[in-house]
Amino acid sequence: MTATTTPPLLRTSIGKKMLMAGTGLVILLWLIGHMLGNLKIWLSQSEIDNYAEFLRRMGEPIFPHTVALWLIRVGLTAAFVVHVYLAIDLSVRNRRARKVRYAHPAHVQTDVPAFTMRWGGLTLGLFVLFHLANFTWGWIHPGYRYVRGSVYANVVGNFNVWWMVVIYVAALVALALHIYHGTWSIFQTFGVNSRRWDKLIRRSSATVAAVLFLGFVSVPIGVLVGAIK
């Protein structure tokens, strides 16, 4: 017999859904923290630049410079990769489980966010690479000179270009839809929701999605209209 190192729970759809929900929750918490950090740009240039420097110095002197930040990045990347892998794996399993395809797949019991989860997830995956190339690696910087570490100057220079704002707003719409359905699904996966609580959970999920959308989108729109300059 061949021994397997895969935990029994992770060989089941339920186990995979639980892990997917767990990694989704990690990403959601990071997004909330990331949004709150981004909003410091509304206070002043020094606030957002000092915050960025704090992230690089975080953990000192226990950890060397930027090491704690990189540990967070590695953990977040692992959560993202696992989340995407499980989403694809579960989607393939569901398709294989349908022995008879519907003659008219009308998605009667599916709302718009659920229907767009697959393509929205793909869009977000591509956007993450674009965002890293834009602000972290500095490969994409139309109309301005990218300076590593100068967060305020890079943000203002980037979002003074209207089509960059359009790209970010479109990605944030996809993110809001994904968060709405994903947050509701987390409750469903862990058995928290019921008919009694479903409306409250959906409203709470919509609120979380709306707050994140408005928080993130306020920055590019603020720069474009001249409120941040």
Evaluate whether residue 102 is within a structural domain. no
Residue 204: give its domain's CATH number.
1.20.1300.10
Distance of CA 52 to the CA centre of its chain: 19
Other Cβ atoms within 10 Å of 43 Cβ, number: 10
Each residue's pLDDT, cut to its tens digit, for the chain (229 residues) gives 445 566 665 677 788 888 888 899 999 999 999 999 999 999 999 999 999 999 999 999 999 999 999 999 999 999 999 998 888 887 777 666 665 454 444 444 455 555 666 677 788 889 999 999 999 999 999 988 999 889 999 999 999 999 999 999 999 999 999 999 888 877 777 766 667 777 888 899 999 999 999 999 999 999 999 999 8
Answer whether residue 100 is part of any domain.
no
In this prediction, residue 129 carries a pLDDT of 93
What is the helix (H) or strand (E) element at residue 82, kind and residue range?
helix 67-97
pLDDT of residue 128: 93
In a domain, 2, yes or no: no
- Quick one: which of 95, 166, 167 has its CA closest to 131? 167
Tell me whether residue 176 is in a domain.
yes
- pLDDT given for residue 33 in this prediction: 96
State how far the Cα of 183 lies from the Cα of 27, in Å rounded to an integer: 11
86: its two tokens: 């499980």
Total number of domains in the chain: 1
- Structural domain for 169, as ranges: 14-95+112-224
Domain presence at residue 8:
no
What is the pTM for the complete model shown?
A: 0.85
